[in-house]
Amino acid sequence: MSKSNINRKTTLFLSLLIIGLMASLLIESSGPPLAIMGQIQHLDKLAHFLAFSGLGLLVCALAFTLNPVSAIPLLSIPLLAVGLFGIIEESFQMLIPGRQFDLLDLLADICGALFAITIANLVIHLIRTNKLVS
């Protein structure tokens, strides 16, 4: 199998994962909040941080697949894409009874994306300097 064919399959796979995660986040946002979110303080913010960290890692992996650069700047297309989706998701919640736009949720989304970019850059640096692969 040629390298370009593998790259196309990887790009398609990552794209489908990203779309699937985005769809699941929007579906989850279309209903009332889970009961456990109100029982544990700040669990909602942690959930946003983790979900958008995962989304950010997938977007970074796609970015590295499409353009294998040495590092993704903190202010970059992956941050813009994930941040924009965070705005869309929070805005979507304004249309749902019992849900609302929460600026702190959006901040947790963006912090999760920044964390993912930092982790992705660290991993790619370790891989390229052969410290992760033995």
pLDDT value, residue 89: 95
- Residue 22: what pLDDT? 97
pTM given for the model: 0.88
* CB-based contact 14:62 (threshold 8 Å): yes
**CA dihedral for 12, 14, 19, 24, sign (positive or negative):** positive
pLDDT of 4 > 80? The answer is no
Query: Where do runs of H (alpha helix) occur along the chain?
Result: 3-29, 35-39, 43-66, 77-93, 103-128
In the chain, the percentage of residues whose pLDDT exceeds 70 is: 94
pLDDT for 3 equals 66
Q: What are phi and psi of 55, to 5 degrees?
A: -65, -45
